[in-house]
């Protein structure tokens, strides 16, 4: 151990980290408008939402400072044009969720896939919410609403300060309940649509890159409250989000770049070299769609020598704190794995020239990437859309037909990388290849709601069975609605009852079910407990994929079937609490006219 410590302290990265510890660094970004908040006790008593100006004139708002307690940032979508939530349908879910957190839940559980695959990730203890007075930031009552709007208005200044407000908050909530009216709102609001909004992407990313706490809280209903610890950047970077005003995206590039730099410097100062390496090398992903270059030279003192290829490797080692091509860091990553995150083909080519082993996999799960162990550099490059790097690795004889938890083809399907699917299949992958859990790429694409990849795989597998694929869409992390519609068009059995297989995947489901029976009740363990015999409709309800559930029930899914626990879809809906319109559909109060 002493020799390892000496070796680490001798790297330029470690020496620079020590120097940073003696420097004063301002982590908080600048606010152009004060951070107005409302005490949580007032928030929980609200029966309607009133604008900033009204609450300020009544003296109810507080300019937040850390000495006062802890702040909660609430990210959400507006349900109306001139009012965020005219019927309080959305905000009442936040009130109910906070009451449960403060009175019933000992901890907020992890998002289900992270809970299953990343052993290092941790749930959020709810005593954190009771340790100090709480203040809530919510745009409608925290930002000016009634003044003349313009680029120099107070509202504009507040909007330009949102990233600073997020940085000041101890907790971040994504409030994403299912809001839908088939007569007036053809496209519902939910977690899937929240993830697509550009400003919501920015708020989420600022939280992920912030210095306060780990992860953020996703609220889909009063009963569906989960902690997300991994970056969502590779699903929807800020620059690829939907902006009502396209010019807004150009303004956010420097904000995003500054946040990335703060995150890296903070990690260095804390000697958290794993976080530093991940953020540094994922900059190219975070900055997609914005016209800003990554900052890769935070460690001073590098002097190039040798040929271009050797100098490129030496600089990468200098900036990332490595000494050898085969060095494994605390995260179980080799230099080539970080280069795969980086996505620079010339760097990967140089590392391969220095005899980096292209078949080595990571040794541990990584919560920041939502990644289980045993992922190859090829898999990482595919997952983050670095397809040119993937071509180089394939040419260097990287193993293409892997059999791990998440082989490269599974990652391509799960991240909607159509080009990656084609590249891997051309290199010898079989689109029917399942991972070690017995899950084929088609199911993964359905679970990820990756419609382009789903189309590609359906085209390659003309005679494929759609057994379990519709269940994957219903259980989707991304909502699954588009995938469910496509699978119903392909004549997937809308009422097929799931049979848990005798496989490693089946064993994990059994263990999850056992944990539920032993009192470890989370949304994940509840799903495992009810899985055997469940229809796609049941799975959509248990996964809070309420748009998918609406599509299934409106397409004729049977509501009288029961799973192995003798529960119907309506029984499960009552247990977990579903939106009123879906409950009415399940009990026959809404009648669908089908052609």
Whether residue 392 sits in one domain with residue 297: yes
The pLDDT score that the predictor gives to residue 477 is 81
Residue 394 lies in a domain: yes
Give the 3-state secondary structure of residue 229.
coil
473 shares a domain with 446: no
Final residue belonging to a domain, choices 466, 488, 515: 466
The number of domains in the chain is 3
Interhelix angle 546-554/481-489, nearest 10 degrees: 30
Q: What pairs with residue 242 in β-bridges?
A: 197
Domain membership flag for residue 31: no
Give pLDDT tens digits for 216-237: 999 999 989 999 887 776 678 8
Q: Is the pLDDT of residue 590 over 90?
A: no
Q: How far apart are CA 130 and CA 179, in angstroms?
A: 30
Summary mean pLDDT of the chain: 90
316 domain residue, yes or no: yes
Question: How many other C-beta atoms are found inside a 10 Å radius of the C-beta of residue 503?
Answer: 14
pLDDT at 595 over 50: no
Mean pLDDT computed over 374-387: 96
Mean pLDDT of 424-434: 92
CA distance linking residue 568 with residue 575, whole number of Å:
11
225 and 170 within one domain: yes
**Same domain, yes or no, for 492 and 432?**
no
Lowest pLDDT segment from 290-299, 403-412, 438-447: 403-412
Q: Is residue 572 part of a domain?
A: yes
The closest of 207, 217, 277 to 238, measured between CA atoms, is 207
Question: What confidence category does residue 370 fall into, taking pLDDT thresholds of 50, 70 and 90?
Answer: confident
Per residue, the 3-state secondary structure of 476-505, as one string, reads: CCCCCHHHHHHHHHCCCCCCCCCCCCCCHH
Q: Is the pLDDT of residue 176 over 90?
A: yes
d(CA 288, CA 272): 25
Q: Which of 232, 259, 278 is the last residue of a domain?
A: 232
pLDDT at 282 over 90: yes
Higher pLDDT pick, 325 / 509: 325
Position 357 pLDDT exceeds 50 = yes
Q: Say yes or no: 298 and 396 in one domain.
A: yes
Work out the pLDDT band at 26, boundaries 50, 70, 90: low
Identify whether residues 477 and 451 lie together within a single domain: no
Q: Tell me, letter by letter, the H, E, C secondary structure of 13-44.
A: HHHHHHHHCCCCCCCCCCCCCCCEEEEHHHHC
Token digits of residue 290: 């914005």
Range(s) of the domain holding residue 496? 467-595
CA 570 to the chain's CA centroid? 29
CA distances 537 to 246, 498, 571, 591, Å, are 38, 11, 12, 17
Please provide residue 108's backbone torsions phi and psi, each rounded to the nearest 5 degrees: -90, 120
Q: How many CB atoms lie within 10 A of CB 335?
A: 26
The predicted structure's pLDDT at residue 308:
94
Would 100 be classed as within a structural domain? yes
CA 443 to chain centre: 19
Distance, CA of 273 to CA of 17 (rounded, Å)? 9
Domain final residue, candidates 466, 490, 521 = 466
- Percentage of the chain beyond pLDDT 90 is 71
- Token look-up 């600048």 returns 30
Task: Calculate mean pLDDT across residues 29-54.
Answer: 96
Of the candidates 474, 478, 441, the residue with the CA atom closest to the CA atom of residue 460: 441
Write the pLDDT tens digit of every residue in 243-271: 988 888 888 899 999 999 999 999 999 99
Q: Please, what is the angle between helix 12-20 and helix 273-281, to 10°? A: 110
| 202: its two tokens | 């920015």
Are 373 and 383 contained in the same domain?
yes
The end-to-end CA distance of the chain, in Å, is 72
Express each pLDDT in 446-479 by its tens digit.
999 999 999 999 988 766 678 789 999 999 988 8
Q: How many CA atoms lie within 13 A of 41 on its CB side?
A: 5
As a whole number, mean pLDDT of residues 526-545 equals: 94
Q: pLDDT category, 88, cuts 50, 70, 90?
A: very high
Same structural domain, 489 and 583 = yes
Q: What are phi and psi of 73, to 5 degrees?
A: -95, 130
pLDDT at res. 7 = 45
Triad 459, 461, 465: Cα angle to 5°: 125
Closest CA to 468 of 532, 405, 512: 532
Q: CA 314 to CA 324: how far, in whole Å? A: 10
Residue 507 has pLDDT above 90, yes or no: no
Residues 472 and 462 placed together within one structural domain of the fold: no
CA angle, residues 247, 278, 377, in degrees to nearest 5 = 110
User: Which range is least confidently modeled, 138-142, 304-308, 490-494?
Assistant: 304-308
- Do residues 206 and 166 lie in contact, with contact meaning Cβ atoms separated by under 8 Å? yes
Same domain, 302 and 425: yes
Would you say residue 17 lies in a domain?
A: no
**124, part of any domain:** yes
Please give the Cα distance from 444 to 406 (Å, whole number).
10
Contact predicate 484/536, CB 8 Å = yes
Q: Tokens representing 81?
A: 């044009």
The DSSP annotation for 125-160 comes to ETHHHHSS-EEEE-HHHHS--SSPPSTTSHHHHHHT
My answer on whether 418 and 515 are in the same domain is: no
Assign residue 329 a region (left: φ > 0; alpha: ψ between -120 and 50; beta: otherwise): beta
Q: Where are the alpha helices (DSSP H) in 30-87?
A: 40-43, 52-57
Same domain, 476 and 538: yes
Looking at residue 496, its pLDDT comes to 95
CA-wise closest residue to 433 among 457, 403, 394, 413: 403
pLDDT at 2 over 50: no
d(CA 269, CA 160): 28
Contact of 227 with 253, CB cutoff 8 Å: no
Radius of gyration of the chain (CA): 25
Lowest-confidence region among 24-33, 491-500, 517-526, 565-574: 24-33
Beta-carbon neighbour count of residue 453 at 10 Å?
27
Say which CATH number the domain at 509 has: 1.25.40.20
| Residues whose CB is less than 8 angstroms from the CB of residue 109 and which lie 6 or more positions away in sequence, other chains included | 115, 123, 225, 226, 227, 522, 523, 524
For residue 438, the model assigns a pLDDT of 83
The answer to the question of residue 520 being in a domain is yes
Contact by Cβ (8 Å): 99, 44: yes
Average pLDDT over residues 182-206: 90
């Amino acid at each position: 151990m002493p020799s390892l410590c000496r070796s680490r302290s001798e790297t330029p990265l470690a020496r620079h980290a020590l120097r940073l510890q003696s420097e004063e660094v301002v982590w908080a970004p600048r606010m152009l408008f004060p951070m107005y908040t409302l005490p949580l006790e007032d928030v929980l008593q609200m029966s309607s939402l009133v604008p900033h100006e009204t609450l300020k004139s009544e003296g109810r708002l507080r300019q937040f400072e850390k000495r006062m307690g802890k702040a909660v940032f609430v990210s959400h979508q507006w349900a109306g044009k001139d009012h965020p939530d005219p019927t309080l349908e959305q905000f009442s879910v936040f009130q109910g969720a906070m009451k449960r957190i403060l009175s019933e839940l000992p901890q907020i559980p992890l998002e289900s896939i992270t809970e299953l695959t990343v052993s290092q990730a941790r749930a959020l203890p709810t005593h954190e919410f009771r340790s100090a007075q709480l203040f809530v930031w919510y745009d409608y009552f925290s930002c000016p609403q009634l003044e003349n709007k313009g680029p120099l208005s107070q509202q504009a200044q507040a909007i330009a300060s949102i990233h600073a407000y997020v940085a000041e908050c101890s907790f971040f909530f994504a409030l994403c309940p299912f809001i839908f009216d088939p007569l007036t709102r053809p496209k519902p609001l939910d977690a899937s649509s929240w993830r697509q909004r550009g400003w919501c992407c920015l708020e989420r990313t600022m939280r992920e890159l912030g210095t306060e706490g780990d992860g953020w809280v996703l609220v889909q209903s009063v009963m569906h409250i989960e902690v997300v610890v991994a970056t969502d950047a590779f699903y929807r970077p800020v620059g690829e989000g939907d902006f009502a005003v396209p010019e807004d995206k150009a303004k956010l590039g420097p904000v995003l770049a500054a946040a990335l730099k703060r995150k890296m410097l903070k990690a260095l100062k804390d000697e958290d070299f794993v976080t530093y390496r991940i953020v540094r090398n994922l900059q190219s992903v975070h900055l997609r769609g914005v016209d800003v270059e990554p900052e890769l030279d935070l460690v001073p003192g590098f002097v190039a020598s040798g040929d271009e290829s050797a100098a490129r490797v030496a600089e990468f080692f200098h900036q990332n704190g490595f000494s050898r091509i085969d060095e494994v860091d605390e995260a179980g990553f080799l230099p080539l794995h970080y280069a795969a995150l980086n996505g620079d083909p010339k760097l990967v080519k140089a590392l391969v020239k220095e005899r980096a082993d292209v078949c080595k996999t990571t040794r541990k799960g990584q919560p920041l990437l939502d990644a289980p162990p045993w992922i190859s550099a090829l898999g990482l490059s595919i997952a983050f859309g670095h397809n040119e790097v993937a071509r180089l690795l394939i040419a260097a004889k990287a193993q293409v037909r892997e059999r791990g938890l998440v082989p490269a083809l599974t990652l391509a399907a799960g991240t909607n990388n159509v080009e990656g699917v084609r590249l891997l299949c051309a290199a010898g992958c079989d689109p029917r290849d399942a991972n070690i859990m017995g899950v084929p790429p088609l199911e993964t694409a359905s679970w990820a709601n990756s419609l382009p990849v789903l189309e590609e795989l359906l085209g390659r597998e003309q005679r494929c069975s759609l057994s379990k694929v519709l269940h994957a869409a219903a259980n989707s992390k991304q909502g699954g609605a588009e995938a469910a519609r496509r699978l119903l068009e392909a004549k997937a059995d809308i009422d097929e009852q799931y049979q848990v297989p005798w496989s490693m995947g089946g064993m994990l489901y059994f263990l999850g079910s056992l944990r539920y029976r032993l009192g470890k009740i989370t949304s994940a363990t509840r799903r495992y407990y009810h899985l055997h015999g469940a229809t796609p409709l049941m799975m959509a309800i248990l996964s809070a994929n309420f748009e998918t559930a609406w599509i299934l029930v409106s397409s004729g899914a049977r509501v009288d079937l029961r799973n192995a626990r003798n529960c119907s879809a309506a029984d499960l809906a009552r247990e977990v609490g579903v939106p009123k319109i879906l409950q009415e559909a399940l009990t026959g109060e809404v009648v669908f006219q089908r052609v």
